[in-house]
Amino acid sequence: MPKVLNPAFFASLILLGILSSLALLGLYPKPHQNSGRFKIHEVSRSVSSIQTKVRYSGTLNGFPCAIYLDPNKPLPKANKDYMFESGELKTHSNFRYTFKPTSPWVPIEKSWSFAHRRFQAKAWVKEKIHKRYQNPKVATLLAGLATGNLESPLLSYHFNAVGLAHLLAISGFHFALLTFFLSSILKKLLPEKVFATLLIVLLGAYFFYMGGGPSISRAWIAALLYLIGVLFGYRTTPLNALGVALLFALITDPFVIAKIGFQLSFSATLGIILFYRKVEDKLCAFFPKRPYDTLIKMSLIDQCGYLLCAYLRKGLALQLSVLSFSLPLILFHFEAFPLILFFFNLFVPFLLAAILALFALQLDFLVTPLTSFMITLIEGAPRKLLLKMDTFYVCLLILIIACIYSVQKLNFSLKLSRNWLKIPFSLLFESKD
C-alpha cells in the first residue's frame, strides 16, 4: 500500500511562503535605473485593435519587465540575456514595468534562454493549424489554445464578457485533459513505472513548450508529484501538490504573487480542494443522490433526468467552491462579476474538452462545426443576460446570505439548548401519571 504524505507538511508552508514573498516585495526597492541586464523569459505576439507588437517578457535587473518591438523590423534572438546602456522605464502598476531601449541590444556571452526556440515552435504550430482549418475564427481559437496566446482581441472580449476567459489560458484544465489522453493510451501498453517515466518526459516537454506561467507551473508540479509517487510508492494529496507548486513559484519569482493570474489560479484550486465535497453534500438537498440499485430500476427518462441533476449538482458545486476564494479577488481587480458565468460554465468547459479531444484525434469534420457552434454561442450571448453585479451589491448579497445562515444555526442551537434544559426539570419533578 502506498505511503501517504502528511497534508499538513506543505500546507503549513503555504502561509509562510506568502508572507515571506509579501515581505520581500515590501522591502524590495522599486527600479529607477534606465539601464541594466534584461533576461528574456517569453516572446509572444501582442495583438490589439490598433496595432500588433512582439512582446519580450522577462526581468530587468531582477524586476518583471516587458519590451515591445515592431514585428516588421529585424528582431533580436531571444536565446541570450542582453545588456542596455540606456532606455526609458515606465511603471504601469505595482511590479509591472515596460522598457523602451534607446541603446543597442548587447548580447551577454555564456547566457541562455529557451524563449527563442519556444517562440519558433509556437509559430510553426500556429501556421500548421491555420493551414488545416479554413474557418479563420476556428483556426485562431485552436491556435490560441495550442500556443497559450490568443491573437484575437474580439474573441478574448467575448469570452471575457461571459466569464470564460480562464478557458483560454493554459491551466490545470488543459494539463488534466492531456494527462488523461496520454494515460489512457500508455497505460494499456506499458508497465506502471515505465508509463510514469515516459509520461513525466512527455508532460515535461509540454511544460517547456508552453512556458512557466503560474497556472502551468501549478498543473505541471501537481502531475509531477503524482507520477513521482507512482515511481517510489508514495501517494500525494492535492493540498501537498498545491503547497509545493506555490512554494516553487514564490521561490523562483517572488513578484509572481502580484499577478492576477497567479492569485486566481491558486485561490480557485484551494477552494476546490477545501470546499468541493462539502458544497456538493449541501446541494444533495436539492439534487439527491440515489443508490445504484434504485437507479437501474428507474425508467429511461427518469435515469436521464437523474444524470442531468447529478451533472448540475457537480457543476454548481465546482463553481461555488471555486468562487469561495476567487470571488473577493475578482471583485477587487475587476469590480464586477458576470452572473451569466453560472450558466455558461455548466456546459462550455465540457464542450471545449470534447473539441480538444477531437482535435488531438484529428477528427476535423467534427472539430470545425463544434468549435464554430461554441464561438457563435458565446458571441451571440443575449446582452440582457450579460448582467454584472458591482462590488457593493455582491458584498451585500454575501452579507445577507451569511446572516441567514447564522440565524439558522442560531435557531438550531437554541432548540438544542431548550431540549437539554428540559432534562434537569424532568428529573426534579415527578410526572402526575
Q: Which residue has the cell 534606465?
A: 34
Ramachandran sector of residue 61 (left: φ over 0; alpha: ψ -120 to 50; beta: rest)? left
Strand partners, 99: 89
CA torsion sign for 117, 122, 125, 131 is negative
Please, are residues 219 and 199 in contact by the beta-carbon 8 Å criterion? no
- Global pTM? 0.76
Please, are residues 67 and 98 in contact by the beta-carbon 8 Å criterion? yes
Cα separation, 39 vs 44, in Å, equals: 15
Cα separation, 11 vs 27, in Å, equals: 25
| Cα–Cα distance list, 405 to 13, 280, 392, 413 (Å) | 32, 17, 20, 12
- Which pLDDT value is given to residue 430? 42
Say how far residue 431 (Cα) sits from the centre of its chain: 65
**322, three cell numbers:** 471555486
Strand partners, 87: 101
| Cα–Cα distance list, 413 to 281, 418, 421 (Å) | 21, 9, 12
CA torsion sign for 162, 335, 342, 210 is positive
CA-nearest of 65, 4, 5 to 30 is 65
Three-state secondary structure call for residue 353: helix
List CB contacts of 388: < 8 A, sequence separation 6 or more: 336, 337, 338, 339
Question: Residue 286: how many CB atoms within 10 A of its CB?
Answer: 10
Q: Which residue has the cell 513578484?
A: 255
Quick one: which H or E segment has residue 98?
A: strand 96-101
- Which pLDDT value is given to residue 394? 62
Which segments of 90-191 does DSSP mark as H helices, in order? 115-132, 136-147, 153-161, 172-186
Q: Indicate the residue type of 309.
A: C
Q: Report, in angstroms and rounded to the nearest whole number, the Rg of the chain calculated over CA atoms.
A: 26
Cα separation, 243 vs 14, in Å, equals: 6
Burial of 358 (0-12, 13-18, 19+ CB in 10 A): middle
Q: Which residue has the cell 490589439?
A: 48
Quick one: which H or E segment has residue 81?
A: none
Ramachandran sector of residue 62 (left: φ over 0; alpha: ψ -120 to 50; beta: rest)? left
Question: Residue 42: how many CB atoms within 10 A of its CB?
Answer: 21
Q: What is the mean pLDDT of each run of 10 residues along the chain (433 residues)?
A: 48 55 52 78 83 87 86 88 88 76 89 88 91 91 86 85 76 72 79 84 84 73 80 75 77 74 79 86 85 83 86 87 81 74 83 87 89 90 64 64 61 49 41 43
